[in-house]
Each structure stands twice: as structure tokens, then as C-alpha cells.
Amino acid sequence: MKFNTSLLHNGFESERSTGSTLTPIYQVSAFSYESAEKLEQVFNNRAPGFAYSRIGNPTVDSFEKRMAAMEGGIGAVACSSGMAAVTMALLNILSSGDEVIAGSGLFGGTIDLFGDLKKFGIKARFAESVTAESVEALITERTKAVFTELIGNPKLDVVDLRRVADVCHSHGIPLIIDSTTATPYLINPLKYGTDIVVHSTSKYINGGGNSISGVIIDSGSFRFDPERYEGFEEYKRFGKYAYIAKLRNGLWRNVGACLSPMNAYMNSVGLETLGLRMERICDNALRLAEFLDSVDGVEVNYPALPGNPYYELVQEQFGGRGGAILTLRAGSKERAYRLVNNLKYALIATNIGDIRTLVIHAASTIYTHSSEQQRISAGVYDDTIRISVGIEDIDDLIDDFRQAIENS
């Protein structure tokens, strides 16, 4: 199956009893059984079925299977938000005293999360950008994971997956990639040596900007040695499913980070048009970047633009497509505000991956909790505008940006 066919059919078991073409919204909390014995079996994973929607739900299960199929993983766990997915993916393997190597250009919420984890004894060591060399230099005997975004939001640095994965594996450490901004349309990170992928599915997977959600997908290829990874002993019998089994039976269910059936449904609907949207959005982003690059007095950053430091890697890893985000430096904070306020079509909002073009002044919003140093490391300056390009007609978008820049 090619990409768009796969979005519709891969991992999707049609509802055999009703012929339903989409998995309906099972908006219920609990599932009843004909006997106490049967519920006991379901509860203890000895018979297929669902018991309680915090632990499992058919609509959510359908979305998870489709995401696992699209990423080429052995299983997926859907979460209430992208941040829940990031948190659960990490805490499933970390204990007090452990260290994580992370990119300094990460999404603001994730940087804040590492601050929160400090008081539980988990320390993040930040690499200015995640490369084989920077990771190698930061590894200690306490390092238990390397975590970064494939295309940094909003730094727009791109990770060379194979090289970084090789270094991780030579030290017995898993590579966890937040692939939100790349999506399975640009790449399947698991095929490039990544062990675990997370997405904020609130963004491109959903596509319509209508549901907060996240997902964790496991390759099944990293073996968590119980000697190094606390709590894996009892999951050894699950073999390559140990990570997912531990997550499902442990922290994820006990925290209650489950996805609601309604939001899982909205995501499944959105997922089906991911290919069409991404094709259009990436084309629009490149065209807009080329236009902005030709304008005096503003500076554009887009990884697929010739001359960008990641241009070659974008050709190699993503077949030339650079995703939907670009950043623009307007010269001063005041001009950035004027420019943003002048735009007619782009909405001023803190989101990405919507079908509508969205803009935000990053320093005064997403990075307001960060230090000056953290902001600069994340590629966020006082005059930086982040643009999440939508599916509007590109001529309209270019005209809109032209007038907004001229009048700012």
C-alpha cells in the first residue's frame, strides 16, 4: 500500500457486525459481561475485550492500531495530550537518579516538563543541537534515554536519525523521537533506528485543530535490561512487547492519561487526509518561504530552503519536504507585533498543524516561562514570529504576507 491508501486501510478493521466504515464513538465508561468469570478474564488480559475506558476503549484502540500501522510500530498507546505522551513515554523507563539527554530546541512545554522532573530526581542534560557528537559527549553511566524532536519546534533544526540512533545503541540507550512536526508523511523514524516515537496528535494528525491528544508508538526493537531499567523484570515475559505492556499496565493507566473516545474518533477522521493536507501544506510552506526569502528586512528560516544548514539532510531523510513550520525575524519585537496584527488570513493562536495558517510571537507566549538563555537556545528571539502554514491558496497567503510586511 502507498501512503494515502495506507491511511485509509492499514490497521483498520472495519466493524464486521455492522459494516460501519469508521469505528464509531463508543462514548461509554464501562463494558458489561454475561458473567463474573468472563469479566475476570477480560480484566486479567486472558480474553480479548474492554472493561473500562481509562484502560481501553474500542474507538481509542482503533486509532492506536492505525497510528501503529502508519509508523510501522508493534503497538501504540494513545494519551490525553501530546504532553501526556511525552511524559508517559519517558517515565515508563526512568527512575530517580536517571539522566536524559535532550535537545535544547524542544517545544516549550517539554522544556518546562524537564524542570518539573528535576524534583523527582530525573535530570535532563541539554545538547545545543542533537547530533552523534553532542550526544556522545553528554552520555554518562546514568543516561537512560535520548529524547528530542525530529524537526525542532520552533528552532527547526533537523536530527540525523541514523547517526544519532547508532550512538545511542552503542551505549545501550534508547532513542525517543517527538515526530509531531514531521508526521509519518515525511518519515517513519522507527525505520531509521528510532526506538520509540511520540506525537502530539493535536497537530497534524488531527489536522482540524479540534482535539488535544497524543500517542506513543514502540518499535519493539529496544530490549530494556531489567538490571538497568527498574520495573522491567515482571514484563520480561512480554518479549518485544515489554515496553508497551509496562506502560499499559502501569503508569499510563494509573495516572489516567487516557484519550477520550470522541477525540480518538476526530483523530481517526483527520488521519485519513494527512497525506493530502501535508502535500499541500509542505508545498505552501516552501512557496511562502521562497517569497519571504526574497523580501528585504525580514529573515526566514525553513529547513527545505536552499542554503539552510539542514537542506541536505531534508533531501536525504524527508525527500525534500520541510514540513509546515517556518520562522520569520522581523527586526524588532514592535515590528513583529505590527506584522502579525496586519495579517488578514493568518490567525494569531498558539497551535500548529491546523489547516488554517496560524502565527504567534513565540518569546512573549510559548517561551514566557523560559530564561533568556533557554529561549535563544530554542531559536526564539524578541523579533521571531512562528508561522504554521495552512492549506489556503498560496497566492492569497503570499499577498497577505506581502501587505503585512510592507505596512509594518
Binding region for ligand PLP (CB under 6 A) out of 197-205, 261-269, 280-288, 328-336: 197-205
Task: Let me know: does 158 contact 317? Beta carbons within 8 Å.
Answer: yes
Determine if 352 is a binding residue for ligand PLP (CB under 6 A).
yes
Binding region for ligand PLP (CB under 6 A) out of 77-85, 287-295, 298-306, 341-349: 77-85
| Side-by-side strand order, sheet with 358-361 | 299-301, 325-329, 384-388, 358-361, 347-348
Determine if 354 is a binding residue for ligand PLP (CB under 6 A).
no
The C-alpha atoms of residue 302 and residue 293 are separated, in whole angstroms, by: 10
Residue 191 Cβ vs ligand PLP, minimum distance, rounded to whole Å: 20
148 DSSP β-pair partners: 177
- What are the two backbone dihedrals, phi and then psi, of residue 368, each rounded to the nearest 5 degrees? -65, -25
Determine if 301 is a binding residue for ligand PLP (CB under 6 A).
no
For 372, what's the count of Cα atoms within 13 Å in the CB-facing half-sphere?
0
Centre a 10 Å sphere on the Cβ of residue 51 and count the other Cβ atoms it contains: 16
Determine if 303 is a binding residue for ligand PLP (CB under 6 A).
no
User: By C-beta, is 178 or 383 nearer to ligand PLP?
Assistant: 178
User: By C-beta, is 384 or 408 nearer to ligand PLP?
Assistant: 384
Determine if 195 is a binding residue for ligand PLP (CB under 6 A).
no
Binding region for ligand PLP (CB under 6 A) out of 106-114, 263-271, 329-337, 380-388: 106-114
Q: 237 CB contacts (<8 Å, ≥6 apart)?
A: none
User: By C-beta, is 95 or 351 nearer to ligand PLP?
Assistant: 351
E-strand spans in 172-226?
A: 175-178, 196-200, 214-218
Site for ligand PLP in 227-246 (CB under 6 A): none
Residue nearest to ligand PLP (CB): 82
The C-alpha atoms of residue 271 and residue 325 are separated, in whole angstroms, by: 19
Q: Which residues of 277-311 are buried (b: 16+ CB within 10 A; e: fewer)?
A: bbebbbebbbebbebbbeeeebebbbbbbeebebb
User: By C-beta, is 305 or 378 nearer to ligand PLP?
Assistant: 378
For 33, what's the count of Cα atoms within 13 Å in the CB-facing half-sphere?
15
Alpha-helical regions (H) of 274-406: 274-293, 311-318, 333-342, 372-377, 394-406
> Residue 355 has which C-alpha cell?
489547516
Determine if 263 is a binding residue for ligand PLP (CB under 6 A).
no
Binding region for ligand PLP (CB under 6 A) out of 10-18, 81-89, 128-136, 159-167: 81-89
Site of grid cell 552520555: 139
Determine if 62 is a binding residue for ligand PLP (CB under 6 A).
no
Determine if 202 is a binding residue for ligand PLP (CB under 6 A).
yes
Determine if 83 is a binding residue for ligand PLP (CB under 6 A).
yes
Determine if 103 is a binding residue for ligand PLP (CB under 6 A).
no
Q: Are strands 347-348 and 143-149 parallel, antiparallel or unpaired?
A: unpaired
Determine if 208 is a binding residue for ligand PLP (CB under 6 A).
no
Residue 252 Cβ vs ligand PLP, minimum distance, rounded to whole Å: 15
Residue 262 Cβ vs ligand PLP, minimum distance, rounded to whole Å: 15
Binding ligand PLP by CB under 6 A: which of 59, 180, 370, 408? 180
Determine if 178 is a binding residue for ligand PLP (CB under 6 A).
yes
User: By C-beta, is 193 or 323 nearer to ligand PLP?
Assistant: 323
Determine if 379 is a binding residue for ligand PLP (CB under 6 A).
no
Which helix (DSSP H) or strand (DSSP E) does residue 144 occupy? strand 143-149
Binding ligand PLP by CB under 6 A: which of 194, 200, 219, 267? 200
Q: What is the DSSP letter of 259?
A: P
Which helix (DSSP H) or strand (DSSP E) does residue 8 occupy? helix 3-9
130 to 149: interface string for ligand PLP, x by CB under 6 A: -------------------x
User: By C-beta, is 214 or 303 nearer to ligand PLP?
Assistant: 214
Residue 202 Cβ vs ligand PLP, minimum distance, rounded to whole Å: 4
Distances from the Cα of 317 to the Cαs of 102, 192, 304, 368, in angstroms? Answer: 21, 9, 11, 33
Q: What is the contact surface with ligand PLP in residues (CB under 6 A)?
A: 81-83, 86, 107, 109-110, 149, 153, 178, 180-181, 200, 202-203, 212, 214, 352
